[in-house]
Structure 1
Amino acid sequence: MLTCVTLLFVVLLCGTEAAPTDHPQWRDIDYLVHLREMFYREDIDDDGKLEYTDARQTDLRSDADGDGVVTREEYDADPDLTGYDLDKDLDVIDVNNDGILTHEDTKLAFLLISSDFGNEWSLGEFIQFMTSKTEPPAKDNMTITIKSFARAERNFVVMDIDDDDLVSEDEFTSEYRVADYNRDGVLKDLELRGFRPIRNVPITRYCSDTTVGCKVEDFLKMFKEADINNDAQLDLKEYVVTFGELMDTE
C-alpha cells in the first residue's frame, strides 16, 4: 500500500529508538483527524479494518499501466496520494532498495508492520502504531488521548446517520431521543450514560441537577458551543474538542 502502509513503514524506519513504556498517549487532534482520513481512504472494502487485500488493491489502483511498477508520474497522478512527496520518501518507501516501487516493497512493509498488530488493524491500532515512534506535540497544542479519540470517533460515526461525516443538530437531538428510554423528555441515571456525546465529559458542565433530569436544551447549549463555524453541524474535530475528553499535556 503506497499510502498508509508505506507511511507506516516510514514511521517504522524513522523511529530507530523504541518508544519508552511511559510514552505519552495524548496527541495533536489535527494529526489524529488526518490519520483517521488516511485510514478510511485506504480501507477500500469499507469494513472498518485495514488488511492486506486493501494494500493489494491500493497497489493496483496506483499502478495505472499495470506493469507492476508505480512510477513518479503514476504516484503524482493518483488523487488519493495528494500531499505525499515521493521524491522525499523514496529511499524509505523502496524497501528492497532497487530504485523502483513495486508490490514487493508493499508486501515486505506490510509483513514487517503486521508483526506488531496482526493481519488487520482497527482505527485505534492504526493510530497507535503511527504515533508510537513520533515525538509528542508541543504542549500548547490541542491534544487528546488516542483511546479517547478512537472512542469519540466511534460515537461520532454512529450519530452521523446520513454518513456525510457531519453531525447535524437534528442527528444530535435524535441521539438524545434514543437515550430517553421512558420518553419523558429528560435524561436521568442510566439514560445519561447512554447519551453518546457526554460519555467522556462531566455531565454537570451543562446539566447541574442530574437527579431531576437533563433536557435536550441543556445539551444543545453544548452543541452550539462546539459548533465553532456556526453552521448547525459538527465536523469530527469540533465534535472531539467538546465531547472527546481533552487531556492536560503537562
Structure 2
Amino acid sequence: MFTCVCFLFIVLVGNGEGTTSFKPLSGSIDTLIHLREMFHREDIDDNGIIEYTDARETDIRVDANHDGVYTQEEFDADPDLSGYNQRREWIQLDVNNDGIITHEDTKLIFFLGPPQYNLEQFLEFFANQRSPRRGEITVKSFVLAEENFRLTDINDNGLVSEREFTSVFRVADYNHDGVLQNLELNRYRPLQNVPVNEYCSDVTAGCMVEDFLVMFKESDVNNDGTLGLKEFLVTFGTLMDSTV
C-alpha cells in the first residue's frame, strides 16, 4: 500500500475530522532526509504534491501479483516502511478490519481527508509519529534549508560546490560591490532566514563572500570541497531553527 496513505489515515483518525491543528514538529536530520526521499518517490508526477492520482499509481505498482489486494505480507515487505511500527500502521490502514487493504481504503482516505499534501505537510505528519530524538530540527527549518540547497545546487548533482556557493553570492550582490547589505542578504539563498550576526563579521559594513566561505568549509566535514544535503542541513538548517 502506498506509503502516503499511511500518514493520511493517521491524520484522519487522529482527530476524527480530517482537519488538524499542530504545534511545530521536529525530527532528526537523518529521519527527515529519509522521509523526503519517500515523498519524492510517492510524488509520481513530480509536481511537488501528493494527491489521489499519485496514490492510485503507487497502489498498482506495489500490488505485486496484481490481484487488487494488499496483504500483511506485502505491507511488511515494503522497503519504504522500513523503521516504522508496521503492525500499528497496518491496523490503521485496514479500515474494515478484514485483514486486507484494497484501493477502496485509499479512496476513502482521500475522500474524507485533505486532497493533497506538500513536502512540509508530509514531513510534519510523519514526524509526529516519531519518538523525540537529540539533534532534531524543526520541519519548517528543514523544508526552508532543503529548498535553499536545491536552488544553490545549480547543476542538480546533489552536491553544493564552493563555486556554486560563491556563484549564488554574486547573484544576490545586486549592485556588484562585493558585499551583501540589507535586502541583498535576504536574497542569498544558502542563508535565507538566518540571523545575520551568525555569519557576518561586520553587518554595518556588509557581508563579504569570505564570511560565508568560512561556514562552507566548516560544514564540509569530509573535506571534499562540496556539501551533501546532510552536511548542508547540519549547519544551515540548524541556524534557521532560531528564526522559524
Q: TM-score, normalised by structure 1?
A: 0.80
Identify which of 213, 222, 231 aligns with 1:220: 213
Identify which of 123, 128, 133 aligns with 1:127: 123
Gap change, CA 1:80 and 1:148, over 3 Å in 2: closer
Q: 2 CA distance for matches of 1:190 and 1:59? A: 47
Secondary structure of 2:215's match? helix
Aligned to 2:227: 234
Q: Aligned Cα RMSD in Å?
A: 3.0
* Cα distance per residue 1:16-65 (max 9 Å; x no partner): 9xxx97x6414123332232222111111001111110000100111133
Q: Percent of counterpart pairs with the same letter?
A: 56
Amino acid paired to 2:207: C
Gap change, CA 1:154 and 1:68, over 3 Å in 2: same
* Structure 2 gaps, min length 5: none
Identify which of 167, 178, 182 aligns with 2:160: 167
Q: 2 CA distance for matches of 1:126 and 1:15? A: 17
Amino acid paired to 1:152: A
Matched, 1:29 2:25: no
Structure 1 stretch 38-47 or stretch 178-187: which is displaced more? 178-187
Matched, 1:5 2:1: no
* Structure 1 gaps, min length 5: none
Matched, 1:94 2:90: no
Matched, 1:62 2:58: no
Secondary structure of 1:50's match? strand
- The Cα shift of 1:151 comes to 1.6
Aligned to 2:109: 109
Aligned to 1:46: 46
Aligned to 2:148: 155
Q: TM-score, normalised by structure 2?
A: 0.82
Matched, 1:145 2:145: no
- Aligned residues, how many? 238
* Cα distance per residue 1:75-116 (max 9 Å; x no partner): 4665555556755643222222221121112222333332xx
Amino acid paired to 2:174: Y
Q: 2 CA distance for matches of 1:153 and 1:13? A: 30
Structure 1 stretch 63-72 or stretch 52-61: which is displaced more? 63-72
Gap change, CA 1:186 and 1:203, over 3 Å in 2: same
